[in-house]
Chain A
Amino acid sequence: MIVADRKPLAEILDMVKDCKKILVLACRGCVTVCSAGGEREAEILASLVRLGLKKNGSKAKVIEGSLVRQCDREYIDAIDQWKGKYDAILSTACGVGVNFIANLRPKDNVYPALNTSFLGGSAEQGIWSEQCAGCGNCVLHLTGGLCPVARCAKSLMNGPCGGSVDGRCEIHKDVDCVWQLIYDRMGRLKRQDEMKIPAPIRDWSVAGHGGPRKQTRDDLTV
């Protein structure tokens, strides 16, 4: 899922300080699962924005709503149900959702309430960790399913580096060296010999360095 977290309240309040009617718009997709921007978090944020603006002397009206997702055209259309009730949308979706609203609602002001962080999973309750960098050229078949692009601080393709100590990364003692994990896992799978083959030179143009990426499935387009 896409993992995000709320921006500092001061930054959010500064964005909407001149607004009179604010729609705090939740997304029931990824940001609900990572407890950053679902209905519960949007309700809390709306309350905090109301309190913050009131404290600052604003009489703005703050309402809440939610969409199934903010990354699909068909769901963005549902914003019409709040027509006339807002002059700004404070989206608690990831950056994709904010972009979609901006793309599809040319006259609506939209502001991001979250910092979109990474692609990750729930490590344990209340803790999420990065697992994938969306680099466009997956090498997990070479590394036992563990990603060196996302999980190695240097994104090394032929690790580990000299900073790996006792299975930990040199950037922080709490961070596993993913290359140690890969080495151990490949050993358990009796595939360590595969690691003697240098990884091929990568094509990074598909990692976003070649501009915004787009996918087309001709069998699905209409």
Chain B
Amino acid sequence: MSFTPDIRLFSCHYTSQQSCANEGKELEGLGFPENVRISRVPCTGKLQEITLLKAFEDGADGVYVVGCPADACHNVKGSQRAAKRVEAIKKALGELDVEPDRVEMYHLSRGLHPEFVDAAQEMNERIQKMGPSPF
């Protein structure tokens, strides 16, 4: 059964600069899925585990975080911290007998790069295969 997943992206403002280009239409033209909702944060290191869980409570089928490369974060360790929090949520989802891969961490270079769109498409395909959230 095909469905359009509700996917939430939390991205640091350095790696999501693309989302602002051409008044926000740049991404659309590059094939960024419409069903991926972006929340920009100053640094993914600021993201708390509860923010990711609330997204699931709010109806998300999948949640992912995009931060700087692990060894090149603008705030030194921000994206490393985010990755550990994503890992904690993966573990918690596993405890609830839910696919841990419904949440993911991506480390991408800053600026305009096709990988930002690739990550969104990958998550979209992954969650489509998994089906709707069991929550």
Interface residues in chain A, defined as those with a beta carbon under 8 Å from any beta carbon in chain B: 8-10, 40, 43-44, 47-48, 50-52, 54-55
Contact stretch, chosen from B1-9, B30-38, B45-53, B61-69: B45-53
B residues in contact with A54, CB < 8 Å: 135
How many chain B residues have a CB neighbour from A under 8 Å? 14
A51/B96 contact (C-beta < 8 A), A40-B48, A44-B49 known? yes
Chain B residue with the shortest CB-CB distance to A126: B84
| B54, A47: Cβ atoms closer than 8 Å | yes
Q: How far is the CA of A172 from the CA of B65 in the complex (A)?
A: 37
| Residues of chain A lying within 8 A (CB to CB) of residue B57 | 47, 50-51
Q: Are B92 and A9 in touch, CB under 8 angstroms?
A: yes
Across the interface, do B50 and A43 meet the contact criterion of CB distance under 8 Å?
yes
A54 to B134, CA, bound (A): 9
Q: How far is the CA of A51 from the CA of B53 in the complex (A)?
A: 9
A54 to B59 Cα, complex, angstroms: 12
Additional 6 contacts, C-beta under 8 A, given A44-B53, A51-B96: A10-B95, A40-B48, A48-B53, A48-B92, A52-B96, A55-B135
Q: Which residues of the partner chain B approach A47 to less than 8 Å between Cβ atoms?
A: 50, 53-54, 57
In Å, the complex CA distance between A9 and B50 comes to 16
- CB-CB nearest 5 A-B residue pairs: A9-B95, A47-B53, A51-B135, A52-B96, A43-B50
Which residue of A has the minimal Cβ distance to B92?
A48
User: Which one of B50, B96, B98, B134 lies within 8 Å of A44 (CB-CB)?
Assistant: B50
Q: Residues of B contacting A50 with CB < 8 Å?
A: 57
Chain B residues positioned under 8 Å from A52 (CB to CB): 96
Confirm or deny: B14 has a beta carbon within 8 angstroms of a beta carbon on chain A.
Answer: no
**Is B49 within 8 A of A9, CB to CB?**
no
Complex CA–CA separation, A43 to B48 (angstroms): 11
Say if the beta carbon of B116 comes within 8 Å of chain A: no
From 40 to 96 in chain B, residues with beta carbon under 8 angstroms from any chain A beta carbon are 48-50, 53-54, 56-57, 92, 95-96
Min CB gap B58→A, angstroms = 11
